[in-house]
Chain A
Amino acid sequence: MPQSTATRVNDFTIKIATVNGTGSASANTLLMKSIFRSGIPVMGKNYFPSNIQGLPTWYEIRITRDGYVARSGQVDIMVAMNAETYARDVREVAAGGYLVYDSTWPRPALLKREDITALGVPLAQLCNESFNGVRTRILMKNICYVGVLAALLDLDLERIRELLAETYAKKPQLVESNMKAIQLGYDYARGAFACPLPLRVEKMANTAGHIMIDGNTAAALGCVFAGATVAAWYPITPSTSLMDAFKMFSDRMRVDPASGRKNFAFIQAEDELAAIGMVIGAMWNGARAFTATSGPGISLMNEFLGLAYYAEVPAVIFDIQRVGPSTGMPTRTQQGDLMECAYASHGDTRHVCLYPANAEECFYMAVQAFDLAERLQTPVMVLSDLDIGMNDWMCRDLKWDDNYRPDRGKVLGKAEVLELKKFYRFLDLDDDGIPYRTLPGVHPKAAYFTRGSGHTQYGAYTEDSAEYQVVLDRLLRKWATAKRLVPRAVIDATAGAATGIVSVGSCDGAIREAIDVLKRRGIGVDYMRVRSFPFSEDVERFLAAHELLFVVEQNRDAQLRSLLALETAVEKSKLRSLLHYSGLPISSAFIVEGVLAELEPRQLATAQGVKGGRSG
């Protein structure tokens, strides 16, 4: 028998291995939400296949009293429901951990680990005896393990019932059948094992003022509240749920009650080429419009992005990054589009990018993206990723300021145009690189011709070198203005250390936890999370102020590091990359190990009186 585990309350990780399409998603959400409702911070990550039914899928729930939102990198309780992945699932349990498995069919050969506790529950047998119909039995088997875990972890069954009642408000009979399955598992576990386990939950009050929401839903809400009226897209994982959410919210909140008319246009395009074209056409014509896509879609949109940059048309694009290159692994996460988005399209192009770190920021950055796009008259890309977009994140309540009014940028109305002697589209009248535009339908005097071919600052076609360069150089002045308007980096320099971590997006949670771990080991590091491209001015200062900089990101080629090297004055030799590109979200353990691997030899060398070595 394994050694008895020390009691660990509200600080452990459960992983559930199931088969895709067997209803496990609702079971796992139910489990996670009931922990969240008990006031305990929780993290949920879904590792699912690019498949509708039949392939293995995993769900990881981290109960985290300290509120860490990243993976811990360790599994304490494994619920192994999938025979196909059983062997590897058993291997993954940390020493001293637990394995819950379906003991309807004995699996002695697979239970060779002596350092974990195996808890067999005849889930299939229990459900076969109590439910009819093949599909129902499969679904109920997955609900049944929620009951087992409720007993093992000491979860409140009333919380579970309350959540089921909300989910199935319109189908009360489903509440009863689900509760029946849960009770079966609960009662069996209570009878067979010493419940609760040393790993268990206890009520807290740390989730008040918080919600559990995925980044795509939050971004969609941002689009609704920002007043977006035209949404055009081509379905692609993992961005589709953003558009689904926009449609769902708009159908509820954007239909005129008197006329039944929809105050939005929702267009499923024939491909991403068309989707971005529609967004550009709509924003050119004065509507707030957006599209959502992933890496392959951005590749297709490159040509149009160049047009919008050069013809100075606003556009908002959400890139929910997934694993590349090419089709890659569509249901796994990565930050692989940093370079592509920054310089998308041929010729001298550069684009404003925003990098949200979590669901909460997706909401606010969605709004900001429209303001920046219209202010700067250029495409703005919001680079989320699958981890942010499709996993539920605990975040602070989203707030809306009713005083907010959209920044529509420099758009001249009829009266203003009539006051001008003549309207010229591309003149830099305010010395900020941003010209004035007009919308179709205003007045013949306001008309101008939009083109991707060479044009003068007066809006006319040109092939004249000097006239062409005037416009191209002015676009750089606009870029300098963008630098002042984009969100600043989030800097935590409380350690006042010589070493800093620089990162982006969804690495944030893992880094914050890693910094705490390092601190406990006596190592202080500062931290800067960039939130935009171009980099805000504070980025340069942070880079200059630190001797050693770990650049943490989730791609193979150190894309953030490349951008920093290209766009700032940072000395390249100061930058150390910590690259995580397995397709799973980065864990705090990965960062701690990476930092220690670099710093410990240095400390050793210093202690031995040798000048600090470098590992390159």
Chain B
Amino acid sequence: MTFIAKPKVAHPSLPKNSLGLTRRDYEGALSTLCAGCGHDSITAAIVEASWALALEPQNVVKLSGIGCSSKTTAYFVSGGHGFNSVHGRMPSIAMGANAANRSLTYIGVSGDGDTLSIGLGQFCHAIRRNLNMLYIIENNGVYGLTKGQFSASADVGTRAKKGETNFQPPIDSVLLAMTLGASFVARSFSGDRRQLVPLIQAGLKHQGFALIDVLSPCVTFNDHEGSTKSYAYTREHYEPAVHADFVPLEREITADYKEGETLPVVMHDGSRIVLRKLDAAYDPTNRVTAAAVIQERMKAGEYLTGLLLVEEGAQREFHEINGTPNVPLNSLAFEALSPGARALEKVLARYR
């Protein structure tokens, strides 16, 4: 048996969202990843965020490439269409799908191999187009399905399970995205659900390309002593810099936050995220200084996490640049698209 459907029995006391759906309604097939895999925690966080936002399941489109991470699109929101494409090419599928129907919610799940090696070009260009999607990288520094080769996110000095040391500098998705002009860039840790869930909510609401790079240890091939992407190492070296709380449209901001320390950011639909600075030196609204601080900390072996850059509404997303109508292109009537026989006759005059 290679496919396990999850039984859908919901206890009557399970909490329901505004659509009357429980968290179970946002789950998918049973995961076939290794027990303890960081990716499964991210899947759980996506389920939680989708439920909390009360997304219509059929309006969620799940996209992925190839690899352990890319399998996970089958494990959440079974009521939404999924597309597990080819290695490193998920962004182009997302671009085409989004071009056809801008009204749906696009969640792409990728890995560090899928994004930073074979898919680096498509990743960069999706950012340049400001494609309206949430792009999650489940980053474990290693190729799992092919048994433990370094990925392009492996840190200098990190050791493979078989003993080899990596000397090539890593490609950091967060710094890269900032350089390319992304307007929503976050980093998190699969083991920190409190941080991750509101980031996913905010990323889903962001108008344009939202990147969340999630450190997600590989329990089988990269969780040993000497690895810089193990659970133990990550717990010790990840440093929350900016916490983001997501405040849905219908809820008022309560006085949990002390003035001066928080920054509310209004999203496209009127919902808000409230940023709480945990690191005084860090400004998540300044691309230049933010990148400098991230790099300094990186030199010291620390991963800054949280919503590291947000410029809500500062850039136009693909459809606004292209000038497409608000209604999806795939819903336009044929009559609105095909100019008809008389128009063709007029065109031909030029070729006589």
Show the binding face of A for B, using Cβ within 8 Å: 37, 211-213, 217, 221, 224-230, 232, 249, 253-254, 256, 259-267, 269-271, 273-287, 289, 303-304, 307, 397-402, 404-406, 438-453, 456, 460-464
> Do A277 and B92 form a contact, CB below 8 Å, given A211-B348, A400-B344?
yes
Shortest Cβ distance from A286 into B: residue: B330
Instruction: Write the nearest CB–CB distance from B176 to chain A, whole angstroms.
Output: 15
Q: Which of B74, B92, B322 contacts A266 (CB 8 A)?
A: B322
Interface size on B, residues (CB 8 A): 59
Instruction: Write the nearest CB–CB distance from B327 to chain A, whole angstroms.
Output: 9
Contact B323 A262 (CB under 8 A): yes
Contact A224 B100 (CB under 8 A): no
A281 proximity list for chain B (CB < 8 A)? 83, 92-100
Contact B344 A221 (CB under 8 A): yes
Show the binding face of B for A, using Cβ within 8 Å: 2-3, 5, 57-59, 61, 73-74, 78-86, 89, 91-101, 103-104, 121-122, 124-125, 129, 319, 322-326, 329-330, 332, 334, 336-341, 343-344, 347-348, 351-352
Q: How far is the CA of A307 from the CA of B348 in the complex (A)?
A: 38
Contact A270 B122 (CB under 8 A): yes
Instruction: Write the nearest CB–CB distance from B224 to chain A, whole angstroms.
Output: 29
Instruction: Write the nearest CB–CB distance from A612 to chain B, whole angstroms.
Output: 48
A447 proximity list for chain B (CB < 8 A)? 57-58, 78-82
Contact B338 A224 (CB under 8 A): yes
Contact A278 B96 (CB under 8 A): yes
> Do A265 and B2 form a contact, CB below 8 Å, given A277-B95, A444-B58?
no
Instruction: Write the nearest CB–CB distance from B325 to chain A, whole angstroms.
Output: 4
Q: A277-B96, A284-B83, A462-B3 are in contact. List 7 more A-B contacts (CB 8 A).
A: A263-B329, A264-B329, A273-B92, A274-B122, A281-B95, A281-B97, A286-B330
Point out which of A397, A440, A449 has the most chain B C-beta atoms below 10 A from its C-beta: A440
> Do A277 and B322 form a contact, CB below 8 Å, given A225-B338, A269-B92?
no
Contact A254 B58 (CB under 8 A): no
Q: Lowest 7 CB-CB distances: which A-B pairs, in order? A: A281-B96, A277-B92, A444-B79, A287-B100, A278-B96, A282-B96, A286-B330
Contact A278 B99 (CB under 8 A): yes
Contact B85 A452 (CB under 8 A): yes
A399 proximity list for chain B (CB < 8 A)? 341, 344
Q: How far is the CA of A198 from the CA of B156 in the complex (A)?
A: 81
Shortest Cβ distance from B331 into A: residue: A286
Contact B89 A440 (CB under 8 A): no
> Do A221 and B347 form a contact, CB below 8 Å, given A284-B96, A287-B99, A287-B100?
yes
A406 proximity list for chain B (CB < 8 A)? 334
> Do A464 and B2 form a contact, CB below 8 Å, given A253-B343, A265-B329?
yes
B336 proximity list for chain A (CB < 8 A)? 256, 263
Contact B103 A441 (CB under 8 A): yes
Q: How far is the CA of A603 from the CA of B4 in the complex (A)?
A: 72
A221 proximity list for chain B (CB < 8 A)? 344, 347
Q: How far is the CA of A279 from the CA of B101 in the complex (A)?
A: 13
Instruction: Write the nearest CB–CB distance from B336 to chain A, whole angstroms.
Output: 6
Contact A274 B95 (CB under 8 A): yes
Q: How far is the CA of A453 from the CA of B65 in the complex (A)?
A: 11
Instruction: Write the nearest CB–CB distance from A338 to chain B, whole angstroms.
Output: 25
Q: Which of A225, A277, A283, A462 contacts B339 (CB 8 A)?
A: A225
Q: Which of B61, B324, B344, B348 contacts A265 (CB 8 A)?
A: B324
Contact A452 B100 (CB under 8 A): no
Instruction: Write the nearest CB–CB distance from B340 to chain A, whole angstroms.
Output: 6
Contact B59 A285 (CB under 8 A): no
Contact A230 B96 (CB under 8 A): yes
B129 proximity list for chain A (CB < 8 A)? 267
Q: How far is the CA of A264 from the CA of B339 in the complex (A)?
A: 13
B95 proximity list for chain A (CB < 8 A)? 232, 267, 274, 277-278, 281
Shortest Cβ distance from B83 into A: residue: A450
> Do A287 and B101 form a contact, CB below 8 Å, given A307-B85, A406-B334, A452-B86?
yes
Shortest Cβ distance from A231 into B: residue: B99
A283 proximity list for chain B (CB < 8 A)? 96, 100
Contact B344 A225 (CB under 8 A): yes
Point out which of B78, B98, B329 has the most chain A C-beta atoms below 10 A from its C-beta: B329
Instruction: Write the nearest CB–CB distance from B193 to chain A, whole angstroms.
Output: 25
Instruction: Write the nearest CB–CB distance from A343 to chain B, whole angstroms.
Output: 18
Contact A440 B80 (CB under 8 A): yes
Q: How far is the CA of A399 from the CA of B343 in the complex (A)?
A: 11
B322 proximity list for chain A (CB < 8 A)? 262, 265-267
Q: List 26 A-B contacts (CB under 8 A).
A: A211-B352, A225-B344, A229-B99, A232-B99, A261-B324, A261-B325, A263-B337, A264-B324, A265-B329, A273-B121, A277-B96, A278-B92, A281-B95, A284-B83, A286-B101, A287-B330, A307-B85, A307-B86, A402-B341, A440-B81, A444-B58, A444-B78, A447-B57, A447-B82, A449-B74, A451-B83
Q: How far is the CA of A259 from the CA of B58 in the complex (A)?
A: 29
Contact A463 B2 (CB under 8 A): yes
Q: How far is the CA of A605 from the CA of B348 in the complex (A)?
A: 54
A265 proximity list for chain B (CB < 8 A)? 99, 319, 322, 324, 329
Q: How far is the CA of A398 from the CA of B352 in the complex (A)?
A: 12
Q: How far is the CA of A288 from the CA of B337 in the complex (A)?
A: 11
Q: Which of A230, A249, A253, A404 contacts B329 (CB 8 A)?
A: A230
Instruction: Write the nearest CB–CB distance from A22 to chain B, whole angstroms.
Output: 25
Contact A211 B97 (CB under 8 A): no
Instruction: Write the nearest CB–CB distance from B194 to chain A, whole angstroms.
Output: 29
Contact A446 B122 (CB under 8 A): no
Q: Which of B58, B96, B334, B351 contacts A289 (CB 8 A)?
A: B96
B337 proximity list for chain A (CB < 8 A)? 227-229, 254, 263
Q: How far is the CA of A463 from the CA of B2 in the complex (A)?
A: 6
Contact B334 A230 (CB under 8 A): no
Q: How far is the CA of A108 from the CA of B348 in the complex (A)?
A: 47
Contact B58 A443 (CB under 8 A): yes
Q: Which of B58, B86, B100 contacts A285 (CB 8 A)?
A: B100
A400 proximity list for chain B (CB < 8 A)? 340-341, 344
B94 proximity list for chain A (CB < 8 A)? 281
A266 proximity list for chain B (CB < 8 A)? 322
Q: How far is the CA of A256 from the CA of B324 in the complex (A)?
A: 10
A303 proximity list for chain B (CB < 8 A)? 86, 89
A284 proximity list for chain B (CB < 8 A)? 83, 93, 96-97
B122 proximity list for chain A (CB < 8 A)? 270, 273-274, 277
Q: How far is the CA of A65 from the CA of B131 in the complex (A)?
A: 55
Instruction: Write the nearest CB–CB distance from B29 to chain A, whole angstroms.
Output: 8
Instruction: Write the nearest CB–CB distance from B8 to chain A, whole angstroms.
Output: 11
Contact B58 A440 (CB under 8 A): yes
Shortest Cβ distance from B81 into A: residue: A440
Contact B352 A280 (CB under 8 A): no
